[in-house]
Amino acid sequence: MIATLLALQATVVEALPQEVTSAAAQTVAPGAHGGINYWELMTKASWPVIAIVLLLLAGSFISWIIIFRKARVFSAANRQADEFESRFWSGADLGKLYTAATDRNRKVGGLEAIFESGFREFTRLREGRRLDARAQLEGAQRAMRTTYTREVDQLERNLELLANIGSTAPYVGLVGTVFGIMVTMHDMINSGEQAGIASVAPGISEALFATAIGLFVAIPAVWAYNRFTTRVERLSVRFETFADEFSSILQRQTSNDA
């Protein structure tokens, strides 16, 4: 079987036109001298392809900025949540925790912000003495839900842009490829050259370069979006769980006061 395939391959190679074998040799040669010259592919491309590649590179730059910033945001959010839960469940006085949460020299977010808003509203309604225990608890829960929504919105900020870059970059690269092929065909017709790999291959390579850039932009953006979306879901569940547990603590406190 192998001998038959080798004989068939030799027959096909001998039947190929000379220009095809020459183009193949020219294609292999760059690999032997260090690979494809991507800068040359870009500089020799037509202006629509260059414009699309520059647009894709700008999208890549923006997506990487978002990726690095969101990575820091989620790392800080998890660290702050761990630290606050450690202090909260250590039996610390709620009043002292609230005083620390309202310190203007610190940036409060996540679980601590939810606690601060709920405890502030609960204390305000409790000191007013105009509402019963149930109304006081419901007021604290509404305040915590509002803060929860705001905190989750902060975590999700710019993720939509990251998703748009990841989903559209391959298609933008494909548009560049189509333009590149159209320009190559148009130039070949105007020059009167005989259609063959030797005359078409350089233009096709330049056109496909746009698709490669599109995938280069899209893959990290899509991966990061999926990763960050999962982290948002985990933190949101953590926020909800804490709000429910803190509501139970406030409910027990109102029951004891009654």
For position 31, what pLDDT does the model report? 42
| pTM (2 d.p.) | 0.75
Task: Say if residues 148 and 239 touch (Cβ distance below 8 Å).
Answer: yes
Average pLDDT per 10 consecutive residues for the chain, totaling 258 residues: 37 41 41 53 69 91 97 94 91 85 79 93 80 85 95 94 95 85 70 58 72 92 97 96 92 72
For position 106, what pLDDT does the model report? 72
62 closest CA partner among 168, 153, 151, 206? 168
For position 35, what pLDDT does the model report? 57
For position 43, what pLDDT does the model report? 61
d(CA 222, CA 165): 8
Which tokens go with 44?
Answer: 């020799």
For position 19, what pLDDT does the model report? 41
